[in-house]
Structure 1
Amino acid sequence: MNDAGGLLLTILLSSLLPGIAIFFLAEHRRRLRIGLNLTGAVTKLVLVGVLLLGVLRGDEYRFSLPLMPGIDLVLAADSLSLLFATLSAVLWLVTTVYAIGYLEHSPRRSRFFGFFSLCVSATVGIALSGNLITFLIFYEILTLATWPLVVHRGTPAALRAGRLYLGYTLTSGLVLFTAIVWLTLLAGAEGFTPGGYLESLAETHAVTLQVLFVLLMVGFGVKAALVPLHSWLPIAMVAPAPVSALLHAVAVVKAGAFGIVRVVNDVYGAELALELGLTTGLLVVAAITILYGSIQALRAQDLKQRLAFSTVSQVAYIVLGVALAGPLGVIGGLVHLVHQGLTKITLFFCAGNFAETLGIHKVREMDGVGRRMPWTMLAFTMGALGMIGLPPLAGFVTKWHLGLGALQVDALWVLWVLVLSGLLNAAYFLPPIIRGWLGERREPWPEPMREQIGPTRFETHWMLLVPTLLVAALSILTGLLAAVGLSPLGWVAVIVQRDYIIPGLDT
């Protein structure tokens, strides 16, 4: 292992080691637990920044550990992995601060934050995975590390959600394991390669490659919440708000979508996927998921449930862009990795603030909350308008590029999907905005529900409010500054131009 590979390993250990230490802390060791959490989160962010600067200089980073003959655990850094790793590191630091405030007087905090740290380790491991074998290992670790967070409250509803979550994810993991072993036997344990590495097998194993693609999409599609594999996600919303934010914006669903991106672009390659007719089916599934998730969100009256079905819809935009298999569509899909993460974590933080401060769980209970909690309601409004796609917010940037991508590959029907989904987004996000700002509360607001929110100069505890405003500001800036080279859009454009072999890229 060289120094470059050592940096990749250190990034993983920066959250893994504090997490292991936190497991052994007594509940009353509050300051030490907070110190370990924040030290790990800040250290990871700094190290990812160092890695990013190195990759921009042209340095190569690779760590390899033999597992068995011909199969290695491989960590590697490319521009796409750094996009996901940077998003994870930034949002994990913010979510850590939020979770500390949210769980201040809750039981089992050491267990919670121990698994919380394991989750970030697994997510960054997924981002830095250099081949499918490594991806699978961290993918399954993520499943096992998130289950205790889903069932953290220990209620019957939480335990039921946990069983459903394990049932879906472990089954999908078995499917994924089968597909990856089969593919490894067929093509060897190759690393992720721009343009894919299966072209030589197209003539002799076309049907096998098609079957394997379906299995891989099922394996990753469960965590990506593609219809009809999505049912676990809305039910998992019984988990605490930081866990909901974790599932939707940073870890689980994003890991599934990232896996689909890797398979299409770095295992099969867009050209082979088109040649085998694989992208059409994936495009249809993504379109159905976008519309179905939006319709279900419109029907949901519980605020977190509405946001959960919105995630089902919004994550499918990533898959839609990749399945379009054209330069602009891929740019729209990849940049939505960032845009959806920032916007959705904003919305879940806001929902947590409403619930923990005033006991608001339903959309109908939001009447007048903008006058009681104006900053949280402002953040919610910006996040919701971003999801709708109002210019110049981040969601508009995504949908604009997806629309251009559909035109670029003559998939005109996708434009109608985008228009209809935008109308549905407005139909389920505008009512809570209107109620929050213009609704009339007929009875006094209750006192803050939780002890730590008690006497404060702010509308809620500062550790809940500050992270919410920070991610809301980031979600706004990614849209306003989209034309800047260092923006997520500029970053993704460089990724596609430099690292991806896509039909029509020169156009």
Structure 2
Amino acid sequence: MKHLLLLFPVLLPCIYAILYGWLRFKGDKHREVFIGTAIIGNLLLVIFTLQSSPLPSLHLFRLDQFVDVYFHVDKMGILFSLLASTLWIFTMFFSMEYMTHEKNTKRFFSFFILNLGIIIGIAFSGNLFTMYIFYELLTLATYPLVIHAETEDALYSGKKYLIYSFFGATFILLGMILLYSVTNDLSFAANGIIGKLENYNETILLAAYFVMFIGFGVKAALVPFHSWLPSAMVAPTPVSALLHAVAVVKSGIFAIIRVSYFIFGADILGGMKGHLWINMMVIFTIVLGSLMALHQENLKKRLAYSTISQLGYVLLGIVLLNKNALIGGLFHLINHAVIKITLFFIVGAIYFTTGKKSIHEIKGIGREMPITMLCFSIASISLIGIPPTNGFASKWFLALGGIAENKIFFVVILLFSAFLTAGYLLPIVVTAFFQGEERALEEKKEPPLKILIPIVTLTGVIVLLGLFPNIVLQFIRSIVGEII
């Protein structure tokens, strides 16, 4: 019975999503209680499921070694599921107020709840086939959120999102077939499954790894397969926040970690030099994302290109194939998620309160919205990586990983990108606080509490992770210790 509990955090949001679309609520309070029960209740359900010892696993449906719907919880799945479930709660409170100015809110919240179950399905997948199923369901379930506005731009962006995603899916499927032809197994295991084989065709395995990295890299916004992400900024801010913080891009990163360390393994990849094929693409992603962000006047698009660059940091931590680098990559996965969702919330709060979207429009807005823009400043400093912030801690481990591989060039790239990050974030802070005319005290207008409280709380989390990084680092070290 306890193994069946594994399905509840996956299926319950799906049931709630269907019920939400079907039920008629007497008022906003009833609607919000229903949504809160679905999202917060699911986090509690995830925590309850993770309390099982040993951690549960379940073969739901099995045709052969390839077609096997298998769920299994491990530490990597715990990290991702808790991150997603927690950030979904913050987004829920933010959305309840923000979406009052949008249409089709019933459809929005139905898919908002549904996607949480799909993300948990990705986190709890025990093999590549199961993860692939949920990964593609995520594409279909996030599409209505991307096209929510139903404008010409939104429909075009949605079409672009589907084209890129299905392109990536084709590569993933090809890689799975190539992999299966050698291993006859797609299960996830610490240190990978390749090392257990007596003989294997290295050329086929290299091809499989490369095409799967590209396939999953599409959702991870790997350059040159990144352009869907800035285009998707036509979606409402809560959608943008989820796309950039956890729902889509982090699913791509999570999948690449699974393939690299739970299918191939660090030793096998290092021996085949499989990671070296990817290094230059990752470096290009870090630098190009930052350079493109410098030229964006629209606040959301500037943050979108920033996401592309910052995801490159996490990918760098993966492909360096050493403990410090992977610790830095996993910690930056968490740090970036918290920081970027905060920044998007703030940009959304500015638009919700003032209707302003561009940098030149927010001159002096720091005097109108001092709490909001103070939070923006703290999050920006953290993303740049100025000590003693959480962003510094993760980038420090990434630098140590580069030094361990005698690749000082990577450390230089990290420093260069940090300067570029300062170049596209600090001007926003300067514009907000030090430009524009003085405003009267009565003109100050912070956003409503349902928007402001998530922003302030997440900013507190950013500060906490900077001052006490070991809260998360100890768990990350235990994950890395098992797979390298």
TM-score bin, normalised by smaller chain: over 0.9
Report the equivalent of 2:58.
Answer: 63
Q: What secondary structure is seen at the aligned counterpart in 1 of 2:453?
A: helix
Q: What is the DSSP-based 3-state SS (H/G/I as helix, E as strand, rest coil) of the residue aligned with 1:66? A: strand
1:303-318 pair list within 5 angstroms:
303-318=299-314
Q: 1:377·1:436 contact (CA, 8 Å) conserved in 2?
A: yes
Tell me which amino acid in the other structure corresponds to 2:36.
Answer: L
| 1:77 paired residue number | 73
Can you list the C-alpha shifts for 1:290-343, whole angstroms capped at 9, x where unaligned?
011000001111100000000000111111001111110010001112111000
Hey, what does 2:32 align to over in structure 1?
A: 34
Q: Aligned-pair distance for 1:107?
A: 2.0
In structure 2, the residue matched to 1:453 is none
- In structure 1, what is the Cα distance between the partners aligned to 2:101 and 2:430? 33
Q: 2:189 aligns with which of 186, 193, 204?
A: 193
Taking a change above 3 Å as real, the CA distance of residues 350 and 78 of structure 1, as seen in their structure-2 partners, is same
Among 140, 149, 152, which residue is 1:153 paired with? 149
Residues 316-374 of structure 1: CA deviation (Å, up to 9, x unaligned): 11110011111100100011121110000000000000111111211112211111111
Structure 1 unaligned segments of length 5 or more: list them.
Answer: 448-456, 503-507
1:467 to 445, 450, 454: 454
Maintained 8 Å contact 2:174/2:208: no
Counterpart check, 1:295 vs 2:282 = no
Task: Name the residue aligned to 2:467.
Answer: 480
SS at match of 2:150: coil
Q: Which amino acid aligns with 2:305?
A: F
C-alpha distance in 1 between matches for 2:441 and 2:72: 52
Deviation readout 1:116-163 (Å, 9 max, x if unpaired) = 111111111111111000000000000000000000011111111101
Instruction: State the AA in 1 paired with 2:467.
Output: L
Contact kept in structure 2, 1:88 and 1:123, CA below 8 Å = yes
1:194 match: secondary structure:
coil
2-structure distance, mates of 1:293, 1:441: 33
One-letter identity of the residue aligned with 2:302: R
- Residues 368, 439 of structure 2: 8 Å contact kept: no
Question: In the alignment, is residue 494 of structure 1 matched against residue 466 of structure 2?
Answer: no
Q: Return the alpha-carbon distance in structure 2 between the equivalents of residues 282 and 322 of structure 1.
A: 10
Check 1:211–1:94 CA distance in 2 against 1; reply closer, same or farther (3 A cut).
same
Matches within 5 A, 1:85-234: 85-199=81-195, 204-234=200-230
Deviation of 1:229 after TM superposition, in Å, equals: 0.5
Q: CA deviation at 1:28?
A: 6.7
Structure 2 runs not aligned, ≥5 long:
none
Report the alpha carbon displacement of residue 39 of structure 1 after superposing the two structures with TM: 0.3
| Contact 1:195–1:265 (8 Å) recurs in 2 | yes
Matched AA of 1:164: K
| Change beyond 3 A, Cα 1:302–1:442 | farther
SS at match of 1:343: helix
The range that moved more, 252-261 or 467-476, is 467-476
Of stretches 340-349 and 182-191 in structure 1, the one that deviates more from structure 2 is 182-191
Percent identity between the aligned chains?
36
Paired residues in the alignment total 483
Pairwise CA distance, 1:283: 2.3
Aligned residue for 1:9, secondary structure, equals helix
Q: Distance in 2 between matches of 1:408 and 1:97?
A: 43
User: Is the aligned partner of 1:415 residue 2:416?
Assistant: no
Structure 1 residues 170 and 10, CA, compared in 2 at 3 Å: closer, same or farther? Answer: same
The 2-side partners of 1:364 and 1:46 are apart by 43
- AA paired with 1:12? V
Shift of 1:48: 2.1
Q: Give the whole-Å Cα distance in 2 for the aligned partners of 1:25 and 1:111.
A: 12
CA distance in 2, matches of 1:438, 1:237: 28
1:269 corresponds to 2:246: no
Once the two structures are TM-superposed, the CA of residue 458 in structure 1 deviates from its matched residue by 6.3
* Amino acid in structure 1 at the alignment position of 2:452: L
Tell me the CA shift for residue 253 of structure 1: 0.3
Q: Aligned with 1:73: secondary structure?
A: strand
Cα distance in structure 1, aligned partners of 2:228 and 2:81: 25
SS at match of 2:23: coil
Judged with a 3 Å threshold, the aligned counterparts in structure 2 of structure 1 residues 467 and 112 are, in CA distance, closer, same or farther, namely same
Give the SS at the match of 2:309.
helix
The change in CA–CA distance for 1:202 and 1:109 in structure 2 (over 3 A counts) is farther
**Once the 2 structures are TM-superposed, how far is the Cα of residue 200 of structure 1 from its aligned partner?**
5.0
1:282–1:320 contact (8 Å) kept in structure 2: no
2:364–2:438 contact (8 Å) kept in structure 1: no
Name the SS of the counterpart of 1:226 in structure 2.
coil
User: CA separation in 2, counterparts of 1:371 and 1:442?
Assistant: 8
CA distance in 2, matches of 1:29, 1:158: 29
Partner letter of residue 351 of structure 1? V
- Render the CA deviation track for 1:185-243: whole Å, top value 9, x for unaligned: 43123321111111355854110011111110111000000000000000100100000
Which whole-Å CA distance do the structure 2 matches of 1:494 and 1:199 have between them?
21
Matched with 2:380 is 384
Give the CA RMSD over aligned residues.
1.9
Partner of 2:5: 7
| 8 Å Cα contact 2:379/2:459 also seen in 1 | yes
CA distance in 1, matches of 2:125, 2:371: 39
Indicate yes or no: 2:258 matched with 1:258.
no
Write the distance in 2 (CA, Å) between the matches of 1:8 and 1:430: 44
CA 1:165 to 1:441, structure 2 compared with 1: closer, same or farther past 3 Å? Answer: farther
Instruction: Report the counterpart of residue 435 of structure 2 in structure 1.
Output: 439
Higher mean C-alpha deviation, range 307-316 or range 96-105: 96-105
Question: Which residue in 2 is equivalent to 1:335?
Answer: 331
Distance 1:27 1:427 in 2: 48
TM-score by length of 2: 0.96
Q: Distance in 1 between matches of 2:116 and 2:221?
A: 20
Residues 4-47 of structure 1 show CA distances to partners (whole Å, capped at 9, x for unaligned) of x2221111123221111112234875333322210011111112
Answer yes or no: is 1:362 the counterpart of 2:362: no
